[in-house]
């Protein structure tokens, strides 16, 4: 028998052994897809279709694992789980706090007034919603749009982390205090943190900025958010159009 045949036989025996002890399925390793930016254009679609499907499958499998989630009390009052939307391998991910009323009804993040403002910010960056990925720290609406509570954040956190692992973005924009504090494991305020990059798990740059809902109440802060987005665009290697400088 040659080396390869010996190797196959060994694997075969090992699989039979696993079957005997009751293991019928094995996880497969996800392909690492390099969908990073190329040159100065936002190339989200460099993965071939097969790898993109693998990536979709990965997000889908996370959604399947989430299931009809009852891991925290938010399930009692939600209409829909709001998982996330956008490019499955976006270079840029926006993470909000939790769904509001419109999002709860439609099952899609950032579709209400704050969402429309976020869409305008994304468009002003020269991007479309489909180019980026948008999700929240908690996937179910906190009643009356209250802040998500620590036990709710803790229950949802593994799913957010898995989404980020599946997408492998270059940059995360954390929208508001709860998103920033959750992702950076800090209790610092957004006002102290925004405007500079931090590392999320040592390999993804994270920019904290004000939440669009806050901007709706504090128009003057839009300037600061735009400054933050310009830093993000530069890090992505994207041009800022003259009139938007």
Chain contacts with ligand URA (rule: CB under 6 A): 96-100, 103, 109-110, 112, 114-115, 136, 213
Structure tokens at 220: 């003057």
**Separation of alpha carbons 170 and 166, rounded Å:** 12
Quote the least distance from Cβ 107 to ligand URA, whole Å.
11
Tell me the DSSP string of 206-229.
EEEE--HHHHHH-GGGHHHHHHHH
CB of 9 to ligand URA, least distance (A): 53
Query: 5's torsion region: left (phi>0), alpha (psi -120 to 50) or beta?
Result: alpha
H or E element that contains 94: strand 92-96
Q: Smallest gap, in angstroms, from Cβ of residue 88 to ligand URA? A: 18
In the bound state with ligand URA, the residue whose beta carbon lies nearer, of 43 and 147, is: 147
Closest CA to 122 of 233, 237, 3: 233
Nearer to ligand URA, 95 or 229 (CB): 95
Alpha carbons 164 and 133: distance in angstroms, whole number: 10
The distance of closest approach from Cβ of residue 76 to ligand URA in the complex, given in angstroms and rounded to an integer, is 19
- Least distance in angstroms from the C-beta of 188 to ligand URA: 19
CB 241 within 8 A of CB 217: no
Which residue number, 103 or 131, has a Cβ lying nearer to ligand URA? 103
Cβ distance to ligand URA smaller for residue 86 or 100: 100
How far apart (Å, rounded) are the C-alpha atoms in residues 83 and 15? 35
Q: Is the Cβ of residue 103 or residue 228 nearer to ligand URA in the bound state? A: 103
Instruction: Provide Rg for the chain, Cα atoms.
Output: 20
Nearest-CB residue for ligand URA:
96
Minimum CB–partner distance for residue 215 and ligand URA (Å): 11
Q: Which is nearer to ligand URA, 110 or 133 (CB)?
A: 110
Q: Is the C-alpha dihedral spanning 164, 198, 236, 133 positive or negative? A: positive
Q: How far is CA 122 from CA 9, 17, 92, 172, in A?
A: 54, 52, 10, 13
Token pair, residue 171, equals 């940059």
Nearer to ligand URA, 88 or 115 (CB): 115
Provide the minimum distance between the beta carbon of 134 and ligand URA in the complex, in angstroms, as a whole number.
7
């Amino acid at each position: 028998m040659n080396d390869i045949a010996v190797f196959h036989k060994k694997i075969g025996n090992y699989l039979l052994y696993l079957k005997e002890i009751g293991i019928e399925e094995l996880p497969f390793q996800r392909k690492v897809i390099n969908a990073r930016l190329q040159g100065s254009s936002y190339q989200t679609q460099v993965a071939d279709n097969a790898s993109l499907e693998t990536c979709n499958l990965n997000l889908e499998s996370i959604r399947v694992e989430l299931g009809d989630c009852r891991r925290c009390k938010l399930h009692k009052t939600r209409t829909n789980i709001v998982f996330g939307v956008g490019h499955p391998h976006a270079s840029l991910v926006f993470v909000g706090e939790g769904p509001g009323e419109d999002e709860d009804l439609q099952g899609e993040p950032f579709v209400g007034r704050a969402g429309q403002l976020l869409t305008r910010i994304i468009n002003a960056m020269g991007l479309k919603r489909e180019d980026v990925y948008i999700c929240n720290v908690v996937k179910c609406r906190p009643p009356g749009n209250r802040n998500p509570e620590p036990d709710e954040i803790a229950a949802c956190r593994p799913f957010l982390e898995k989404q980020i692992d599946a997408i492998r973005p270059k940059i995360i924009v954390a929208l508001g205090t709860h998103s920033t504090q959750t992702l950076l494991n800090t209790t610092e305020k957004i006002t102290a943190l925004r405007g500079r990059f931090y590392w999320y798990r040592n390999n993804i740059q994270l920019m904290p900025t004000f939440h669009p809902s806050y901007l709706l109440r504090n128009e003057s802060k839009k300037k600061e958010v735009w400054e933050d987005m310009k830093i993000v665009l530069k890090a992505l290697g994207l041009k800022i159009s003259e009139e938007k400088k």
